Structure 1
Amino acid sequence: MEMRIEKVRKNNEGDITDVMMNGNIYSIDQAIMLAQDGLIEGVNVARARSGREYLRSNPDETAENNLDNLPQF
C-alpha cells in the first residue's frame, strides 16, 4: 500500500522535519526510509551536495503538490 504525504511540519529554517501520511506522523528520516522502499507515492530521495538525503516531489506540471507547498500541521 503506497502512502501519500498530506501535510508537513517545518522548523524555523523552513526545513521539513516531519510529514503526515494517512493521519500518522513520521519523522523526515522515517519518511526517507519509506520512500527508499517505494512506499510513498509521488516522491523520491535525492542527495544534497553535503551528502544529506532529502525527499523531493516527483516532477510534474503543477507546483501545488510540491512538498514545500503542502499544508503545515
Structure 2
Amino acid sequence: MIDKTRIIKVRKNPDGDITDVMLTDGNVYAIEDAITLAKDGKIEGVNVGKAKNGREYLRSNADGKKDNNLDNLQLL
C-alpha cells in the first residue's frame, strides 16, 4: 500500500497558475499528474475542483488555516 503524501512546494507560471508541485517525498509532478494522484487518493489535504470552463484544478481542503493553502506554499 502506498502512503499518502502532502504538497509542500509549488511552481507557478507568470500568470500565477500552479504548474508543478513537490510532495513530501521530494518528487515533483506536473499539475496534471498531481490532479490524477489526488483523484486516486494519494495526496492528503487536497481535492480536485472543476472550473466553469471544465478545467480541473487542485485546491486545499478547507481547514481554516491560510498558511497551508496551495497559493501560499513555498515556491520551487
Pick the TM interval, shorter chain: over 0.9
Please list every run of at least 4 consecutive aligned residues from structure 1 whose deviation after the TM superposition is greater than 4 angstroms: none
Q: Could you report, residue by residue, the CA deviation over 1:33-61 in whole angstroms, capped at 9, with x for unpaired residues?
A: 00000000000000000000000000011
Identity of matched residues, %: 63
Consecutive unaligned residues of structure 1, counting only runs of 5 or more, are none
User: Which secondary structure does the structure 2 equivalent of 1:3 belong to?
Assistant: coil
Q: How many residues align?
A: 73
Letter in 1 for 2:59: R
Measured on the aligned residues, the alpha-carbon RMSD in Å equals: 0.4
What TM-score do the two structures reach when normalised by structure 1? 0.98
Matching residue within 16, 19, 22 for 1:20: 22
Residue 25 of structure 1: CA displacement? 0.5
